[in-house]
Structure 1
């Protein structure tokens, strides 16, 4: 059996993680009669006896190049190699081919309740209103759809007006070796950590506003850690300037190693105000470290945290709710339960994509 795997957008971040994770799954697949053909742009993947890699770096030159590839080159590749199935890891199916297609949807912007205006963010508006329509149309056309969470399964079914029996949930491949757990003490309860990129929907601004209000209340013995440098984009540059001007206790430490992030989960409270996510990995990581978590009151947060006693939710556009939670932590008014069983979470990671594809 020949299976062609398309993922030309993958270059960095979460998209590249999706590609690398599935490549590892394919290399460890016990059925060596499957011939895998990976179609990618710039990343490097090692070819093996049953894995062939086709690279098209020119796809990244412009949107025009990408459209030409998707609509002309991709269908030709499917026909040329006489593949039996197509797996698309890029949110849209390959057009005009007569083979079964499995679609992996991991772009959550079209399904978010928050809608961006064109003036607010042109790229996000395009994803929600133009690319989003292509994604929803692809969901309708695909033979099977794979998503990372139950909330995405419901959202895909509702947006595409289809039954959810062709949509399968497979959580991201997460390999976490927990060495230490959160310790509740004065320092950890007054240290707040937010590991996130500088995208506007990561909502760092709500943390800044909460810090300003805490300072106004005379609460100063705390600090916040962002995994940003302060120069990522105009949104973050302005935020950084205000932090310095207001002399707020927010540290911009830049990117951290996985080990450094895990260490901070054991000695700080996780704040997660993002309002658009597919999975929200830090929520699970902090939970597995038995940490205290302040999370946005959104479907992806509840899917990971419901039933976890050390999780608290706040409306992501209401800094007063976050102020109340941060103040309670600083003043040691929160109850902390360090005895928690994670047996139910193990079931989340037992499924893999190949079982659904083959």
Structure 2
């Protein structure tokens, strides 16, 4: 009896988080599905996947990132022909777009939450391209979305938004498997008292302004016994350049620039508190890392932050639009006497819901 075919598609993944997600998916497939299914993986570059079992058939699309038109051609025209050729049991699109394909089961994994973020006028000016992108994404998601057996998102709040926006019910919440194996806890490093770290790449929704303004408020009150480390230095983009120019006079902020993983771990180990004021995320990896390292944490009071954090005691939440609120929370940490944290309780998420790729494939492939 011939084995059924599963097609995995991620032709635009070539670096960073998305590539990591694809590889985690393939590791699960390699371990649990290869004996029962033929696996075809559509990729941008086969060389990026050299560590995988030779029984997985990789087909590369090296020109997929040349233009968005090329991507659209593949998703909505070429993949139709390919699906007729392979006759897959499951076509699993790992990157947001629901292609025109023929398959017994169709699934799409939706990563990007930007369509649910209302950018301010100031943010639009700073990053008009991101504003257009956020509006465009709604239509990209909408094409063919109701033809899927399942739509996968990373958090419950995104599921609720998808249900409202697209009038669908078949949405799985799949919390990402976060590999914390490279988190090297060094107990020999002395904690720097009243130190704060915000590790993030500078994009307008990352909200670096709020922590800079909060620090300014503290300095104006004469509170200067603190150090705030920000992983920007002004060289990354226009947004970071504006931030550094505007706040470089503050004594208590150190703009350390983007860090290697090894260097970032040194900062993680030595700081007392991790701050994460981002206005929108699908997950927010530094939250998970700070929790693992048992740091004091100050988070934007938004659904993604509560869901990512889960059960944790030493956390404050603040209004991400209020630098004064953040300054108050930072001051409580600096004073350090009988701190009464807000704490957080893990959210109870309704089915369908899973915590790893194995559980996700069990839901998807269930007959």
Calculate the TM-score normalised by the size of structure 2.
0.85
Gaps of at least 5 residues in structure 1 are none
**1:302 paired residue number:** 306
SS in structure 1 at match of 2:328 = helix
**2:72 paired residue number:** 67
**1:4 paired residue number:** 7
**1:288 paired residue number:** 292
Q: Tell me by how many angstroms 1:49 deviates.
A: 3.9
> How has the CA–CA distance of structure 1 residues 138 and 21 changed in structure 2, closer, same or farther, with 3 Å as cutoff?
farther
**2:98 paired residue number:** 93
Q: Select between 258-267 and 4-13 the one with higher mean Cα deviation.
A: 258-267
Calculate the TM-score normalised by the size of structure 1.
0.87
Distance 2:185 2:340 in 1: 16
**1:124 paired residue number:** 130
Distance 1:111 1:131 in 2: 10
Q: How many residues align?
A: 351
Residue of 179, 186, 189 corresponding to 1:175 = 179
Is 1:149 aligned with 2:155? Answer: yes
> How has the CA–CA distance of structure 1 residues 215 and 182 changed in structure 2, closer, same or farther, with 3 Å as cutoff?
farther
Is 1:256 aligned with 2:256? Answer: no
**1:28 paired residue number:** 31
Q: Select between 240-249 and 215-224 the one with higher mean Cα deviation.
A: 240-249
**1:224 paired residue number:** 228
Is 1:39 aligned with 2:42? Answer: yes
Q: Tell me by how many angstroms 1:42 deviates.
A: 3.5
Residue of 47, 53, 63 corresponding to 2:58 = 53
> How has the CA–CA distance of structure 1 residues 348 and 328 changed in structure 2, closer, same or farther, with 3 Å as cutoff?
farther
Q: C-alpha deviations, 1:115-136, integer Å up to 9, x for none? A: 7775453332233222222213
SS in structure 2 at match of 1:6 = strand
Distance 1:284 1:135 in 2: 28
SS in structure 1 at match of 2:324 = helix
Root-mean-square deviation over aligned CA pairs: 3.1
SS in structure 2 at match of 1:212 = helix
